[in-house]
Amino acid sequence: MPTDTLPQPGKTPGKPAGELIRLERVTKRFGTNTVLDHLDFSVDAGKHVTLIGPSGSGKTTILRLLMTLLKPDEGTITVDGQQLFPASDKQVREIRKKIGMVFQQFNLFPNMTVLRNITEAPVTVLGMSRDEAGERARDLLDLVGLADKRDARPTQLSGGQQQRVAIARALAMRPQVLLLDEVTSALDPELVAGVLDVLRDIARSTDITMLCVTHEMGFARDISDQVLMFDSGRVIEAGSPEKIFNEPEQARTREFLSAVL
């Protein structure tokens, strides 16, 4: 795999590998339902953070706020020193360049080939030439093991293959942060491993920051630097995967883990 294929944010000269994402007192409500309740947390550059917790506890909402698919009702979100809300459209677009997201339902563009799915944004957003974008897309397809599928349509691929293309598509934008929103939840069980292997590979071989919402606890244990346990819109426990999975302090965490493990 060529070394320049993947984003390497830590290599920006002179930039301290410090805090990359910060949420301060972030509240998000849907109607009368408070999904996030004055949430505070931060993620350091290059770290892999996994969010676990029961459904409806606000994990996915955090990713969607960071991707600017939602706006918080209160609080501030900062990415790489730039505040996300309030921000001008131009600022928001600048911040979005730093973030990539992979969705539960893949969300590939069915009207484009696999290759075009990956090159579309680098060409139209980053102004890359079609040739260069195509070259990089081929490298990324190699990385996710789908080199032979570049001319296929998304509908001709299995769910697992689609999700691997979606990962390649997100990485093509060289984001500093990769948001993974339950990326294996919609897959048939036998296809999950292939996707997780690709993500493990990326976690190992790059210094991309990862924020991951998952119910795959084995995967979370493998790749995480930190695990955050959510309940009712708050982080109720945070720590290394060893601590959270082996000796959780909170009764709620133990209860949740015994239910899913």
Partner 1 sequence: MNWDWTAVSDFMPHFWDGLLVTLQILVLGSVISFVLGLVWALLTRVPSRWVTWPVGVVTEFVRNTPLLVQLFFLFYVLPEWGVTASAMTTGVIGIGLHYSTYTMQVYRAGIEAVPTGQWEAATALNLPLRRTWTAVILPQAVRRVVPALGNYVISMLKDTPMLMAITVLEMLGEARLFSQETFRFTEPLTVIGVAFIVISYLASLALRALERRLAH
Q: How far is the CB of 125 from partner 1 (least distance, A)?
A: 5
Q: How far is the CB of 80 from partner 1 (least distance, A)?
A: 15
Question: Interhelix angle for 114-124 vs 159-171, to 10°?
Answer: 20
> Residue 40 has which token pair?
């505070």
Q: How far is the CB of 106 from partner 1 (least distance, A)?
A: 8
What's the angle, vertex CA 234, arms to CA 68 and CA 32, rounded to 5? Answer: 70
Quick check: 12 binds partner 1 (CB under 8 A)? no
Closer Cβ to partner 1, 111 or 250, answer by number: 111
* Cα separation of the two ends of the chain: 35
Q: Which stretch binds partner 1 (CB under 8 A): 71-79, 89-97, 232-240, 244-252?
A: 89-97
Q: Which stretch binds partner 1 (CB under 8 A): 103-111, 129-137, 194-202, 217-225?
A: 103-111
Measured distance CA(83)–CA(206) in Å, rounded: 26
Quick check: 69 binds partner 1 (CB under 8 A)? yes
Measured distance CA(80)–CA(43) in Å, rounded: 10
Q: How far is the CB of 95 from partner 1 (least distance, A)?
A: 9
Q: How far is the CB of 4 from partner 1 (least distance, A)?
A: 20
Residues in contact with partner 1, counted by CB under 8 A, come to a total of 26
Q: Which stretch binds partner 1 (CB under 8 A): 54-62, 75-83, 116-124, 142-150?
A: 116-124
Collapsing DSSP to helix, strand or coil, 188 comes out as: coil
Measured distance CA(79)–CA(99) in Å, rounded: 9
Residue whose C-alpha is closest to residue 164's, from 179, 145, 150: 145
Site for partner 1 in 44-63 (CB under 8 A): none
Reduce the secondary structure of 71-140 to three states and give it as a string: CCCEEEEEECCEECCCCCHHHHHHHHCCEEEECCCCCCCCCCCHHHHHHHHHHHCCCCCHHHHHHHHHHH
Q: Which of 15, 25, 71, 93 binds partner 1 (CB under 8 A)?
A: 93
Binding flags for partner 1, 168-197, as an x/- string (CB under 8 A): -xx--x------------------------
Q: Where along the sequence are the contacts to partner 1 (CB under 8 A)?
A: 67-69, 93, 96-97, 99-101, 103, 105, 107-112, 120-121, 124-125, 153, 155, 169-170, 173
